[in-house]
Structure 1
Amino acid sequence: MAERSKKEPKVDSTLSKGLSVLENLARARRAKGVTELARELGLTKSNTFRLLQSLCRLGYVRQETGGGYAATLKMWQVSRASVDTLNLREFAAPEMAYLASETGETIYLAVPEQLSVVYIDKIDSRKPIRTWNPIGGAAPIHCVGTGKAILAADYDRLRDKLVEPLPSHTDRTLTTLNALDADIERSRARGYALDRGEFRDRIYSFGAAILLPDGEPVGALGISVPNVNLPDGGEDRFGALLAHAAEAVSRKLNRA
């Protein structure tokens, strides 16, 4: 006798609708009114209003002065706690090993920490001339590849936190916001960021951001290369490899 197939568990409709409201507001960059939300989600205005009131009481949504509704920081805190439980090193390990094999250079995994990046994992190069940063070490976000990749992914929010003149580390460091603006645009167009000796003389670093489903950069993969090791055409090749690897890690996070 064939085994009876298990029934799919029922989804509570009120919970489902409430989550759809919360997800909509979390993605939005402005407050939204009841009518707009109801139209976008295919709900009645009365139902949408009741859901918003419940979310306000729970602290996930607030009503703005103009009458619209927006997600609160509680939504961010919950999502950040969820991210913290993910083992980013484990997710990124295969891609880091691939990059190390393909380039022979030092590979880093970095996460943002205010206006710096902190290296949480690395694979050292075995070449005689190589770069070196310790796990747990930090670097300014505006002048290394991993940092500039994170900036490029969240520049609208992070730009206002940067103050001129930006700290200088070599004669190549970008110290004005206008110069950084142009560099970020180039990074976005290429799909990866590049530091040509801006933090350490004669050290090139590439970076590509690892993104959460909502587009928030949770970290970045990086390749660090002494300029004497960089082959002809190396910028394009290393950058393309890195962008592909970071995208692969982002896809894993999206499925987690």
Structure 2
Amino acid sequence: MTGRVDSTLSKGLSVIEALAAADKGIGVSELARNLNLTKSNTFRLLQTLIIHGYVKQDQNKQYSATMKAWKIGQMIMEKLDLPRLSISQMQYLSSITGEAVYLSVLDGLSTLYIEKVESTKAIRTYTPKGGNAPIHCVATGKALLAFNYDTLREKLIGNLGSYTDKTITTIEALDVEVDNIRERGVAIDLGEYRAEVLSIAAPVFSSNNEAIASIGISAPAINLSEEDIEKIIHTVKQAAQSLSSTLKDI
């Protein structure tokens, strides 16, 4: 049996969702029209949400969502044991590729490795669990960056450090790379952080379709042929999609 729904709360949540999805601030009239609400009702909802910190208004009387809803989501996500939920897919990737497998999350403008399955090969890469790498030049970082780009792009301007001759160091080039990652659903690092190290990763999405983690492999360039890379791309995407499905069922 479906429970009774509080209409005011439902409208308020619709306002937050509409503002969060908007590329820029929205006026009360446009918002009311988009949500099929009266202007007076929409205004009252906005004022209540402002008081509770979910919405802000600029000097042009445009409304936008604050980071409060995101912070609540982060608190919920922190209670999830991502490494435990991810380990079966990480072991699967390891068994297929034999290379080091990493699970990463955002850490400022870096990617943080929160879990790792070691490579089984004699020649291997080494980045410890708990280590960091710049978000713009490793695959796990770029996979997260591409699907959180709206909030991270401005912060990266002037902060694109160079590590090899393949590192992306301009925001214009990064714009193009992000578009490519979003289109193919996977990020590839062909020696952008360490010259002889390749990495491939895909984003992991939560139940509200936010890219909260990434999963991928890191390998010495000598270990992988072009054919190997194409096979691993497919396998990494499968693992990320499977893990995303697990999170969406929680």
Against the structure 1 CA distance between its residues 55 and 123, is the aligned structure 2 distance closer, same or farther, given a 3 Å change threshold? same
Task: State the distance in 1 between where 2:172 and 2:31 align.
Answer: 38
SS of 1:233's partner is helix
Give the corresponding residue for 1:3. Answer: none
Candidates 238, 242, 246, aligned match of 2:240:
246
Give the corresponding residue for 2:5. Answer: 11
Give the corresponding residue for 2:186. Answer: 192
| Residue deviations 1:230-253 (CA, integer Å, cap 9, x gap) | 145111111121122222323333
Taking structure 1 as the reference length, the TM-score comes to 0.87
Contact 1:203 1:227 in 2 (8 A): yes
Task: State the distance in 1 between where 2:175 and 2:65 align.
Answer: 29
Contact 1:204 1:227 in 2 (8 A): yes
Question: Over the residues paired in the alignment, what is the CA RMSD in angstroms?
Answer: 2.2
Does residue 77 (structure 1) correspond to residue 71 (structure 2)? The answer is yes
Against the structure 1 CA distance between its residues 235 and 30, is the aligned structure 2 distance closer, same or farther, given a 3 Å change threshold? same
How far does residue 215 in structure 1 lie from its aligned partner after superposition?
4.8
Contact 2:207 2:249 in 1 (8 A): no
| Residue deviations 1:192-215 (CA, integer Å, cap 9, x gap) | 111112222321111212234555
**Larger-gyration structure (1/2):** 1
Percentage of pairs with the same residue: 47
Task: State the distance in 2 between where 1:25 and 1:13 align.
Answer: 18
What residue identity is the alignment partner of 2:186?
Y
Give the corresponding residue for 2:50. Answer: 56
SS of 2:130's partner is coil
Contact 2:137 2:193 in 1 (8 A): yes
Task: State the distance in 2 between where 1:33 and 1:102 align.
Answer: 52
Candidates 192, 196, 202, aligned match of 1:202:
196
Candidates 96, 101, 105, aligned match of 2:99:
105
5+ residue gaps, structure 2, are none
Contact 2:54 2:67 in 1 (8 A): yes
Taking structure 2 as the reference length, the TM-score comes to 0.89
Count of matched residue positions in the alignment of Structure 1 and Structure 2:
250
Task: State the distance in 2 between where 1:211 and 1:120 align.
Answer: 16
5+ residue gaps, structure 1, are 1-6
How far does residue 91 in structure 1 lie from its aligned partner after superposition?
2.8
What residue identity is the alignment partner of 2:167?
T
What residue identity is the alignment partner of 1:108?
Y
Task: State the distance in 2 between where 1:9 and 1:105 align.
Answer: 50
Q: Matches of residues 57-206 of structure 1 in structure 2 within 5 Å?
A: 57-164=51-158, 166-206=160-200
Give the corresponding residue for 1:4. Answer: none
